[in-house]
Amino acid sequence: MNFRPSYPIKTERLDLRPHRMDDLDDLLAFHSDPEVVRYVPWPVRNREQVRAALEVKLTQDALTEPGQWLVLAIELRETSTVIGEVLLKWDSDINRQGELGYALHTGYHGRGLAAEAARAMLRIGFEDLGLHRIQASVINGNTASTKLLERLGMHQEAHLIESLYFKGEWCDDLIWAIREQEWRSK
């Protein structure tokens, strides 16, 4: 497969699009925030570390093989600022499984913007990629994320006890998911 959505993917307030090198300052603003990275698998990053991460993201605007992530910048249309990122993994071809991820600058939390971006990615996953089930993996305690998943119509399927050694301690991993049929009937 060679799946590359036609960009930008427009929602009410957002443009989801591939990253560009000139997004560096916007990314630094949230990649350097301990509150944003607390539950995501990256450290607090300095400018050089953000640059290195951004170089990888520049290549993640299409899916050609299972196991790859589509990683898109969330641009607030009103100001043209990149306020976060939203991710969709094409996990398995035969099983048609996917995985959702997201992170937003704290200054933009509480406005339904992450949910708006995530809904667009679920639509891409189910309608364009033909996925059967999309899951999200959340560190136990990340209530902002589980509230969002609930709002998306996803439900918790598993609570894996101390299955992750995460940022220096053993953590529980919560697996949330939604299947295509459930998503279509919402």
Ligand X SMILES: CC(C)(COP(=O)(O)OP(=O)(O)OC[C@H]1O[C@@H](n2cnc3c(N)ncnc32)[C@H](O)[C@@H]1OP(=O)(O)O)[C@@H](O)C(=O)NCCC(=O)NCCS
Site for ligand X (CB under 6 A): which residue of 113, 122, 124, 177? 113
Residue number, 4 or 155, with CB nearest to ligand X: 155
Q: Which residue is nearest to ligand X (CB)?
A: 112
Residue number, 18 or 101, with CB nearest to ligand X: 101
Q: Which amino acid is at 86?
A: V
Per CB under 6 A, contacts with ligand X among 79-98 are none
Site for ligand X (CB under 6 A): which residue of 49, 140, 142, 163? 142
Q: Does 77 contact ligand X by CB under 6 A? A: no
Cα 113 from Cα 95, distance rounded (Å): 30
Cα 91 from Cα 73, distance rounded (Å): 20
Site for ligand X (CB under 6 A): which residue of 24, 29, 53, 115? 115
Tally of CB atoms within 10 A around 16: 22
What crossing angle do the helices spanning 143-151 and 113-123 adopt, rounded to 10°?
50
By DSSP bridging, strand 133-139 and strand 97-104 are parallel
Residues that bind ligand X (CB under 6 A): 36, 39-40, 102-104, 109-115, 138, 142, 144-145, 147-148, 151
